[in-house]
Amino acid sequence: MFKPINKHLVVKVVEIVTVLDSGIIVPDSAKEAIEDGVVIHEVVASDSDLAKKGDLVAYANWAGVKHKENDVEYKVLREADLYGVKNAGN
């Protein structure tokens, strides 16, 4: 796995699935234009402590560059592409 530079971070794409009462499975990708991911490599040269390794973050599905390694999907995002940390304070 490569390490990001210039205020970029690597996020492992996470698919969150919702099961309706009727039993229909609705994947996260069918619900919104916001995706979830887990930070794998955090921003090193950052002025903020926005996202740390292991944090679950939200970002636009069109943001960043896709990268696949060992059949695992990652995205390389700019720190500014993040909407927020979902597990902040945990």
Domain 8-85 has CATH 2.30.33: yes
Give the pLDDT score at 42: 72
> How do the domains of the chain map onto residue ranges?
8-85
Instruction: Specify whether the CB–CB gap between 74 and 68 falls below 8 A.
Output: yes
Position 32: which residue type?
E
pLDDT in tens, the chain (90 residues): 667 777 788 888 877 666 767 776 666 555 566 677 788 877 665 555 678 888 888 888 888 998 888 998 899 988 888 888 877 544
Instruction: Specify whether the CB–CB gap between 36 and 57 falls below 8 A.
Output: yes
Instruction: Specify whether the CB–CB gap between 59 and 82 falls below 8 A.
Output: yes
